[in-house]
Amino acid sequence: MNREIIKISHLSTRFDDRLILDDINLSIYENEIMVILGASGCGKTTLLKNIIRLYHPSDGEIEIFGKEITRLDEIEFNDILKKIGVLFQNGALLNSLTIGENIAIPLQQHTDLPEPIIQRVVRKKLDLVELGNAYSLFPAQLSGGMRKRASLARAIVMDPLILFGDEPSAGLDPVTSAGLDELILKLKHILKMTIVIVTHELASIHRIADRVTFLEQGKVLFTGSLQAAKKAAIPQIQDFFQKGRF
Task: Give the tens place of pLDDT for each residue, 82-109.
Answer: 999 999 877 688 999 999 999 999 999 8
Region 24-33 average pLDDT: 95
pLDDT at site 238: 87
Residue 146: count other Cβ atoms within 10 Å of its Cβ: 19
The pTM of this model reads 0.91
Q: Would you say 160 and 83 are in contact if contact means Cβ atoms under 8 Å apart? A: yes
* Residue from 43, 56, 41, 159 nearest 111 by CA: 159
Q: What pLDDT does residue 66 have?
A: 93
| pLDDT of 1 above 70 | no
pLDDT of residue 91: 67
Residue 244 has a pLDDT of: 59
pLDDT, position 200: 82
pLDDT of residue 245: 45
Mean pLDDT of 187-209: 91
Kindly report the average pLDDT of the chain as a whole number.
91
Higher pLDDT, 92 or 24: 24
Positive/negative CA dihedral, 160, 203, 166, 168: positive
- d(Cα 132, Cα 172) in Å, to the nearest integer? 21
- Cα–Cα distances in angstroms (integers) from residue 5 to residues 14, 55, 69, 84, 97, in the given order: 25, 20, 13, 12, 34
Average pLDDT, integer, range 20-45: 91
The dihedral sign for the CA sequence 78, 82, 84, 89: positive
